[in-house]
Chain A
Amino acid sequence: MSAALPDVATLRDMDSKALNQLEKSVADTFMGGVPWGSVAWGLGNLVVWLSLWPLTLSGLLPLWAAFPIATLCVMLSYLPSHEAQHRIIAREGEPLFWLNELVGHLSTIPLVLPYGVARLTHYEHHKHTNDPALDPDAATKADGPWHSIVKSIARRQPGSKDQASYGECLTRLGTPEARAAGVQALIAQLTYLTILFAMAWTGHAIEAALLWWLPRHIAMTYIQFYLSWAPHHPGTGKGRYRDTRAFRSAVGNIGSMGMQFHIVHHLYPRIPLMRTPAAYWALRPILEARGCDLERL
């Protein structure tokens, strides 16, 4: 695809309308169809995580083996829901919209992040990326990788003001849908704590800690690092071609869950995750011509 594009210098000289049209025509070729890989990922991941409970409680799987699997499952639980949040699996009115919503609701159960909360706050993140007052993810801004990890842990302390950013975002939206999402968040949090307490006081505290509580903390740190901090660093850019960047991850594309190419997602949120690397390479000359931050990628 990129071979068919003019060189960067020619693209820079193109008038804005023609460049927009060219960019959109390239991006359009990566949209459409059902991303079955994400559907299988979302539902399969939940099944694997759920299966760890009877397997460890019955003694069939040792806890030391279940813990890293559980951690991986919780880390992997967000992105299928993210595809659903953007209605990539199916749009409202399409025959498979129920599947979109099913993946959206089920995949983030291990993260204790209700779909409604994730969807509404994520739309606000797209609308107001890097705006400290309006982007609910703006608090993930940090000076560097270690600072990002420290801030992520600090944000989860009970007295942290940043912890309330999603709740504040829903209150600011003030719609019936946002109010319902707030109630869902409350129910999810109370249910999660009730399960942890019940398991702990029935003699399964270590299982609950290593299958859910600790994996969730590790996963939240990882997700906030790769999905929020890294692609938006330094978190000061505003505007379509400035608020998100491409970057080369030390753990590669799979290790960073495709976030090296997150700039493509912000430009065209309906391109499925698994097609963003190809879309990036196809769009790269245009992004370079536009002066996007493409780091070393």
Chain B
Amino acid sequence: MQSFLGALFKAMPLIFGLGFMAPLIGQSLALTGWPMPGGIAPIWIGLAIGAVWGGVATRTGRWL
């Protein structure tokens, strides 16, 4: 249990990036009404940014 929780919290920035930042970015982009490049759905842009940002935060220990 302890090792599972340890691994979970270690990967939390990536999980947060996908679980919260991605839909937040996607829904914010949708709200602007801007046309997305190649007509791609805003959530995919959110997922890409959330995954990269969360992955970097997991690796470096910093969001900012």
Binding site for B on A (CB under 8 A): 153, 157-160, 186, 193, 196-197, 200-201, 203, 205-206, 208-209, 213
Q: Which of chain A's residues have a CB closer than 8 A to the CB of B16? A: 193
Pairwise interchain contact B24-A186, C-beta atoms closer than 8 A: no
B residues 1-55 in Cβ contact with A at 8 Å: 5, 12-13, 15-16, 19-20, 22-24, 26-28, 31
Known: A193-B12, A193-B16; 15 extra A-B contacts, CB below 8 A, are: A153-B64, A157-B61, A157-B62, A157-B63, A158-B58, A158-B61, A159-B60, A197-B20, A200-B19, A200-B23, A200-B27, A205-B27, A206-B27, A208-B24, A213-B20
Which of chain B's residues has its CB closest to A203's CB? B27
Q: Can you show 23 pairs from A to B with CB atoms below 8 A apart?
A: A157-B57, A157-B62, A159-B60, A159-B62, A160-B61, A193-B12, A193-B15, A193-B19, A197-B20, A200-B22, A200-B23, A201-B23, A203-B27, A205-B20, A205-B23, A205-B24, A205-B28, A206-B24, A206-B27, A206-B28, A208-B24, A209-B24, A213-B20
Pairwise interchain contact B24-A158, C-beta atoms closer than 8 A: no
Binding site for A on B (CB under 8 A): 5, 12-13, 15-16, 19-20, 22-24, 26-28, 31, 57-58, 60-64
Q: Which of chain A's residues have a CB closer than 8 A to the CB of B27? A: 200, 203, 205-206
Pairwise interchain contact A196-B19, C-beta atoms closer than 8 A: yes
Pairwise interchain contact A158-B20, C-beta atoms closer than 8 A: no
**A196→B22 CA distance, assembly (Å):** 12
**A84→B19 CA distance, assembly (Å):** 35
Pairwise interchain contact A158-B13, C-beta atoms closer than 8 A: yes
**A186→B24 CA distance, assembly (Å):** 24
Q: Which of chain A's residues have a CB closer than 8 A to the CB of B58? A: 158
**A213→B19 CA distance, assembly (Å):** 13
Q: What's the count of A-B pairs with C-beta under 8 Å?
A: 52
Q: Which interface residue of A159, A160, A200, A206 has the most chain B CB atoms within 10 A? A: A200
Q: Which of chain A's residues have a CB closer than 8 A to the CB of B5? A: 186
**A200→B22 CA distance, assembly (Å):** 9
Q: Which interface residue of B16, B23, B27, B58 has the most chain A CB atoms within 10 A? A: B23
Q: How far, in Å, is B27 (CB) from chain A's closest CB?
A: 5
Q: Which of chain A's residues have a CB closer than 8 A to the CB of B26? A: 205
Pick from B24, B31, B60: contact of A200, CB under 8 Å = B24
Pairwise interchain contact B24-A157, C-beta atoms closer than 8 A: no
**A196→B17 CA distance, assembly (Å):** 12
Q: How far, in Å, is A204 (CB) from chain B's closest CB?
A: 8
Known: A186-B5, A206-B27. A200 touches B20 (CB 8 A): yes
Which of chain A's residues has its CB closest to B13's CB? A158
Pick from B15, B22, B31, B57: contact of A206, CB under 8 Å = B31
Q: How far, in Å, is B59 (CB) from chain A's closest CB?
A: 9
Q: How far, in Å, is A56 (CB) from chain B's closest CB?
A: 14
